Structure 1
Amino acid sequence: MTTTHHLPAGKATTDAYAVDVTPESADWGYSSLRVLELPPGGRHVFDTGDSEWIVLPLSGGCTVAVGGDTFRLAGRESVFSGVSDFAYVPRDAQVSIASRDGGRFALTGARCARRLPARYGPASSVPVEMRGTGNCSRQVNNFGAAARAGGADGQGFECDKLIAVEVITPGGNWSSFPPHKHDEHRPGEESELEEIYYFEFTAHEGTPGLGYQRVSPSGRGSNTDVLAEVRDGDVVLIPDGWHGPSMAAPGHDMYYLNVMAGPGADRAWLICDHPDHAWIRATWPERPVDPRLPLYTAPEKS
């Protein structure tokens, strides 16, 4: 199995970022992810270049200044404590992120053509979705989602190419199941999208959490083949192939941040289920959603 697509914590670190995945480092065309760690009073300035970005607090709050706008992000204690507000910043801009108390901030990015206005995304506007039932139950925070087959998620927050969501899976459950793919353009059926998974876990009495991620070849020249034990700060790159399941070890809730982008003219998330496992969806109406979910909901609009 390939190991180049599993980046354990620390492997994708640069001087500026705890995680720094670029189109160049991933050897693909569009998707990026950075994780920025700021000490109390810290400040970081970066140029967006040819990409659009969403600044998403993982822990702590910050201010995001771009052009003549300044957005104050309340953030959250951790990814397991609540939905966060966020800021969208366009390509061809200089951005300053500052944090009075310090924190960790994800920068989800995608190469794009259009330069859209900078905007603030309140936590109250984030659709929180329960997906699957039984031991396939998971929570999806659709802060930067796009249209998908059969409907739309996260509609109302415009990006040019970028698609980004958060998934929380209770310990012992399987996410990204049935395995699915989005590695070829088939109008109305499947989008061509690169994808990044970034993981965090809850600990138990000081013992760090863990999970497992599977990616398998889908044909058409796809050779991505991963079965990885994943822990806090790990990244899995998915240029193609069937991905899933994402398995949370019992006793440890699993969080992953998905970042997607691709060459399609339409910003859409259209997937194809693995034919051997697609039947599982038909069983979901027979079982309730895991009672541990939702872990939290979006705050009420003020």
Structure 2
Amino acid sequence: MTEQKSALRPRRHATWFHPRASLARDGWNIVVDASLDGWQHTGLRTVDFRTGEPGTAEPGTTELELGAAEIERLVVPLAGGCFVRAVTEDGALHEVELEGRASPFDGPTDCLYLPPGTRAALSGAGCVAVAEAPATTRHPLRHIARDEVTVELRGRGRASRQVHDLGTPAVLDAERLIVCEVITPAGNWSSYPPHKHDEELPGRESQLEEIYYFELEASPGAPRAPGGAAPYGLFSAAASSATEIELDERVRSGDVALVPGGFHGPAVAPPSHDLYYLNVMAGPGERVWRITDEPAHEWVRESWEREPPDDRLPYVRAAKGARP
């Protein structure tokens, strides 16, 4: 028993849940990187260039820079579009306008992959996320159009959700980075059954850190929360044989959960609001998402065979993106 405990990667020494704006730094609303204790394979930055919004960039911010580093990145417009001016390691200038969308709940967005060694500047009038992972392989800079993003419907019944493969191996050539986003209709559960990916078990499981960035929006026809009453969903994570972690959190728009390992899920949408989260994953091994379900809840997948998919999906509010 003593040997087994010593083999666990310690994960209780750091905080893995971060409320909105608690990770703000250098003009960014959120900065997740290797400066956080125990975190090494993934990163996330967000900036909201809109004025008057709580938790937005510092007043007067019109542009933010990304320095050249051994990091690959995916620029993801969350609400509105943005403009990216990038210079790759060979000195080539790339000026890319990302159309974006009205909100994270308005279908997939176009996005931009930046290879390692690229410096860039972001500007615009919306909210933008930048997913990151340490890397050295120089894959080409690539603008991924909205209609290139694969839309998947996963689960059944109250476990139905919609996944947008923004930067998964099926869509993007990269070294480490895996990026997707999930919309969970009001009242449904996603990241379910609870699962883990914290061990490199060839052909069975991959070792991946994971970031969850959350947003909530009143579902069509539902009343919005009155002023001062921020809607919230729920998110959980529990220990596995490889990772000690325990999270049972209320999650609100702008919050971040870090999952170094362990069985994580469900992410639960409240009855009146739809839940969105952006997932950033990367690890030291093969760039593939292989998972192990929590044994006590493996039966959940079999139950889906008897349930219809949620008729609210596919969930696409708008055909085109737009700047606010």
Same structural fold, with TM-score higher than 0.5 when normalized by the shorter chain = yes
Equivalence map 1:138-217=2 (5 Å): 138-146=161-169, 155-203=170-218, 204-207=223-226, 208-217=230-239
**Retained in 1: the 8 A contact 2:131–2:179?**
yes
Which of residues 109, 116, 119 is equivalent to 1:94? 119
CA distance in 2, matches of 1:26, 1:105: 25
Percent identical residues? 40
Query: CA, structure 1 residues 21+59, in 2 after alignment: closer, same or farther (shift >3 Å)?
Result: same
Equivalence map 1:33-182=2 (5 Å): 33-39=44-50, 42-67=62-87, 68-99=93-124, 102-146=125-169, 155-182=170-197
Q: Letter of the 1:85 partner, please give it.
A: D
TM-superposed CA distance for 1:206, in Å, is: 3.5
Query: CA, structure 1 residues 258+48, in 2 after alignment: closer, same or farther (shift >3 Å)?
Result: farther
127-136 vs 90-99, greater mean Cα deviation: 90-99
TM-superposed CA distance for 1:115, in Å, is: 1.8
Question: Which structure's residues are more often strand, by fraction?
Answer: 1
Q: Letter of the 1:180 partner, please give it.
A: H
TM-superposed CA distance for 1:10, in Å, is: 1.6
CA distance in 2, matches of 1:232, 1:121: 26
Q: Which stretches in structure 2 are left out of the alignment for 5+ residues?
A: 1-10, 52-60, 88-92
Q: Letter of the 2:315 partner, please give it.
A: L
**Retained in 1: the 8 A contact 2:225–2:231?**
no
Instruction: Give the TM-score normalised by the residue count of structure 1.
Output: 0.91
CA distance in 2, matches of 1:22, 1:63: 23
Query: CA, structure 1 residues 298+192, in 2 after alignment: closer, same or farther (shift >3 Å)?
Result: farther
**Retained in 2: the 8 A contact 1:123–1:299?**
no
TM-superposed CA distance for 1:284, in Å, is: 1.1
Query: CA, structure 1 residues 48+253, in 2 after alignment: closer, same or farther (shift >3 Å)?
Result: farther
CA distance in 2, matches of 1:278, 1:48: 44
TM-superposed CA distance for 1:285, in Å, is: 2.1
Q: Letter of the 1:210 partner, please give it.
A: Y
**Retained in 1: the 8 A contact 2:150–2:171?**
no
Instruction: Give the TM-score normalised by the residue count of structure 2.
Output: 0.85
CA distance in 2, matches of 1:37, 1:299: 23
TM-superposed CA distance for 1:96, in Å, is: 1.3
Q: Is residue 2:44 matched to residue 1:24?
A: no
CA distance in 1, matches of 2:202, 2:108: 33
CA distance in 2, matches of 1:284, 1:77: 33
Q: Give the greater-gyration-radius structure (CA).
A: 2
Q: Letter of the 2:260 partner, please give it.
A: P
TM-superposed CA distance for 1:83, in Å, is: 1.3
| Aligned residues between the structures | 288
Deviations 1:224-251 (A, max 9, x none): 1100011010000100100011111111
Q: Which residue of the partner structure matches residue 14 of structure 1?
A: 25
Q: Which residue of the partner structure matches residue 223 of structure 1?
A: 244
TM-superposed CA distance for 1:299, in Å, is: 6.1
42-51 vs 13-22, greater mean Cα deviation: 42-51
> What's the Cα RMSD here?
1.9
**Retained in 2: the 8 A contact 1:62–1:75?**
yes
Query: Which runs of 4 or more aligned residues in structure 1 lie more than 3 Å from their structure 2 counterparts after TM superposition?
Result: 297-300
